[in-house]
Amino acid sequence: MSPVLDVYIGYDRQEILAYHVLCQSILDRCSRPVRFTALNLDSLKPAFDRPMLPEQSTEFSFSRFMTPWLSGYQGWSLFMDCDMLARADFAELFALADDRYAVMVCQHDYTPRDQVKFLNHTQSRYAKKNWSSVMLLNNARCRALTPEYVSTASGADLHQFRWLEREDEIGALPLEWNWLVGEYDHNPDAKIAHYTRGGPYFSGYEDCDYADEWREALARVRHVEGGASGL
Q: What is the CATH number of the domain that holds 134?
A: 3.90.550.10
CA 223 vs CA 36, 164, 220: distances in Å: 20, 44, 5
Whether 212 maps to a domain, the answer reads yes
Inter-residue contact 151 to 50 (CB < 8 Å) = yes
Termini Cα distance of the chain: 41
Whether 182 maps to a domain, the answer reads yes
pLDDT attached to residue 226:
72
φ, ψ of residue 194 to 5 degrees: the values are: -110, 115
pLDDT attached to residue 126:
64
Whether 173 maps to a domain, the answer reads yes
Q: How many domains does the chain have?
A: 1
Whether 230 maps to a domain, the answer reads no
Whether 228 maps to a domain, the answer reads no
Whether 93 maps to a domain, the answer reads yes
- Rounded to an integer, what distance in angstroms lies between the CA atom of residue 190 and that of residue 84? 11
From the list 61, 180, 78, the residue with the least C-alpha distance to 137 is: 78
C-alpha neighbours within 13 Å on the C-beta side of residue 173: 30
Q: What is the mean pLDDT of each run of 10 residues along the chain (231 residues)?
A: 93 96 98 98 95 85 97 98 98 98 96 60 70 98 98 95 97 98 96 96 95 98 74 53
Type and span of the H or E element at 105: strand 103-106
Residue 150 lies in domain? 5-222
Whether 139 maps to a domain, the answer reads yes
SS3 172: strand
CA 175 vs CA 118, 159, 206, 212: distances in Å: 22, 18, 24, 22
SS3 222: helix
Whether 58 maps to a domain, the answer reads yes
pLDDT attached to residue 209:
98
